Structure 1
Amino acid sequence: MNQQGLTIDEAKKKIEYYCAYQERCHKEVVEKLKSLGMFETAIDHIINHLLEQNFLNEERFAKAFTRGKHKFKFWGKRRIEQELKFRDISSYNIKTAMKEIEDEYLVNFYNLADRKWETINETSIEKKKKKWIDYLIRKGYETNLIFEALKNYD
């Protein structure tokens, strides 16, 4: 029993559902278990169970996260990498996950850049360029890519 009265088996079932609903990283699962009031030894036991039963797989999480953020939020590699590092994902898994978006990366970048350029209502071309560049940097695209694309808007 823990502080909230959950047994390890009850917590295990709850976390299995949590992981089955959506890919999770170790850090999210540990935080969830702590929020359920589980103690360190119980957390270790449950994490091992989740790994053995393949509910928790860091490489799978990194790939799904990368595909999703790029496809739906149009994030660039730098932002995705930063977010994965924040979630304590290994460099190897980050590198592997980045391969998931290689094929559509440039197409998505140029589509986003074009769409953004058209939506910026700015009379000064210099201000428009600055807003456009800042937006793409916030999205996590590489500066060399941004400045190369900027040549298309002169």
Structure 2
Amino acid sequence: MDYEKKQKKEISAQSALSKVMFICSRQEKCCFDIRKKLHDWNLSYDDQDEIIQTLIEEKFLNEERYTNFYVRDKFRFNKWGKIKISHHLKQKQIPENLIDNALDQINEKDYKESLGDILSHKIKSIKEDDPYQLRAKLYRFAQGRGFESHIALNFIDKLISELE
């Protein structure tokens, strides 16, 4: 079977600027996302830089605003921990200081409550009699969600002691 490679679109710089302005007006984006899209449209690096600079000047792109929204949404809706959120933002080349500032805005009480809720829900679905195996499964689950080890272990110990 022959698989055709998906043809990349080629558009003018002005047309690309209009399209990404529309995209940015509808949803928060970061420079990395926009650069990727511009690259997919086969725009030169000079055009990409110029478009991104225009978007920043016109306030369509703002890395700090994007980071704050991203952190809030991933914590609130996806129930991700700080480690996972931070990792995903680093992949998008967001500066470390912006990530740290946004993560600091998560309420510590809400953060621990969220972890407690997801672990309490998860423990009901795990069919395991051995407390060590149960502990390991809950720990891996919390790690997969991006929660810090020490916080996760405290909650897991508390949950397992309630079961005994």
TM category (shorter chain) comes to over 0.9
Name which of 16, 23, 26 aligns with 1:11.
Answer: 16
Aligned length: 152
CA-CA distance at 1:100 after TM superposition: 2.9
Name which of 110, 125, 132 aligns with 2:131.
Answer: 125
**Deviations 1:40-63, CA, capped at 9 Å, x for gaps:** 111111001100111100001111
Name which of 51, 54, 73 aligns with 2:59.
Answer: 54
2:41 paired with 1:40: no
**Deviations 1:58-107, CA, capped at 9 Å, x for gaps:** 00111111111111111101111111111111111001111232252111
2:117 paired with 1:148: no
Partner of 1:29: 34
Partner of 1:80: 85
Query: Could you tell me how far apart the structure 2 residues matched to 1:5 and 1:134 are?
Result: 45
Name segments (4+ residues, structure 1) moved above 3 Å. Answer: none
Give the letter for the 2:14 counterpart. Answer: D
State which drifts further: 28-37 or 17-26: 17-26
Structure 1 stretches of 5 or more lacking a match? Answer: none
Give the letter for the 1:111 counterpart. Answer: D
CA-CA distance at 1:5 after TM superposition: 4.8
Query: Could you tell me how far apart the structure 2 residues matched to 1:37 and 1:19 are?
Result: 19
Structure 2-normalised TM-score?
0.87
Query: Could you tell me how far apart the structure 2 residues matched to 1:5 and 1:28 are?
Result: 18
2:115 paired with 1:99: no
Higher helix share: 1
Q: What's the Cα RMSD here? A: 1.5
Query: Could you tell me how far apart the structure 1 residues matched to 2:37 and 2:10 are?
Result: 15
Structure 1-normalised TM-score?
0.92
Q: Is the 8 A contact 2:82 2:147 kept in 1?
A: yes
